[in-house]
Chains A and B, each alone.
Chain A
Amino acid sequence: DTQMTQSPSSLSASVGDRVTITCRASQSITTYLNWYQQKPGKAPSLLIYAASKLQTGVPSRFSGSGSGTEFTLTISSLLPEDFATYYCQQSYSTPFTFGPGTTVEIK
């Protein structure tokens, strides 16, 4: 199985801050990497697919980069609605696996 790790596991930030979350895969997944946002009591919502492509309707303050085994999700200027948990997910090989999540909290 391809193991996914994320860092940090949580972070505190203020509105307007730039936030970067890192995701690492235990083996190369080229760009088969997706990012999801999840708010409490809600289903995950797709933000970024293929490592860097913005899902339709997702604000441009979200961006993704990386390939191989290391990826980043960046929020350029945090808004109140961005406080949530973010998961990376590899779709390169089965079983498709998710990272443990990064919770972005209000400072």
Chain B
Amino acid sequence: QLQLQESGPGLVKPSETLSLTCNVSGGSISNTAYHWAWVRQSPGKEPEWIGTIFFSGKAYYNPSLKSRVGLSVDTSKNQFSLVLSSVTAADTAVYYCARRVSPFPYQFDYWGLGTLVTVSS
């Protein structure tokens, strides 16, 4: 059974960089049938797609965050990571990592439990 687990600081100061890692177990991150994604959800709001990365390292991002976000993958550790720079209170959210099926219709079929990140001084 595939499992995804997010890890990282739960509190980040304004203007600093948020860094999270998603550990994948029960399946290989190098499987070409899947892509790997980050999704966040602010309190009381719908989920927001942040970005998706392939095992090769190619990534694409939500344009609303593109200037501040970076994804990377470590196939040797079966994990992928998110960095978001210059954070503000608006970046406070539960951050989820998820698996996206490829090809059509690219649904998110497995999700991590999520980790709450609060931006506050």
What is the CA–CA distance of A49 and B109 in the complex, to the nearest angstrom?
Answer: 9
What is the CA–CA distance of A100 and B45 in the complex, to the nearest angstrom?
Answer: 7
> In terms of DSSP, what is the predominant structure of the interface of chain A?
loop
Q: Closest residue to A35 on the B side, CB-wise?
A: B107
| Contact indicator A95/B46 (Cβ below 8 Å) | no
> In terms of DSSP, what is the predominant structure of the interface of chain B?
loop
B112 at the interface (CB under 8 A from A): yes
**Closest CB of chain A to B69's CB: distance in Å?**
12
B residues 77-117 with Cβ under 8 Å of A? 96, 100-101, 104-109, 111-114
What is the CA–CA distance of A45 and B100 in the complex, to the nearest angstrom?
Answer: 13
Known contacts A43-B112, A98-B46, A98-B48: A91-B60 contact under CB 8 Å:
no
Residues of A within 8 A of B (CB): 31-34, 36, 42-46, 49-51, 55, 87, 89, 91, 94-101
Residues of B within 8 A of A (CB): 45-49, 60, 62-64, 96, 100-101, 104-109, 111-114
A-B contacts, 13 of them at CB < 8 A, read A34-B105, A42-B113, A43-B96, A44-B47, A46-B109, A49-B109, A50-B105, A55-B107, A87-B46, A91-B105, A94-B62, A94-B63, A96-B49
Q: 15 additional contacts, CB 8 Å, given A34-B107, A43-B111?
A: A34-B105, A44-B47, A44-B111, A49-B101, A49-B105, A50-B104, A55-B107, A55-B109, A89-B108, A91-B100, A91-B107, A94-B62, A99-B46, A100-B46, A101-B46
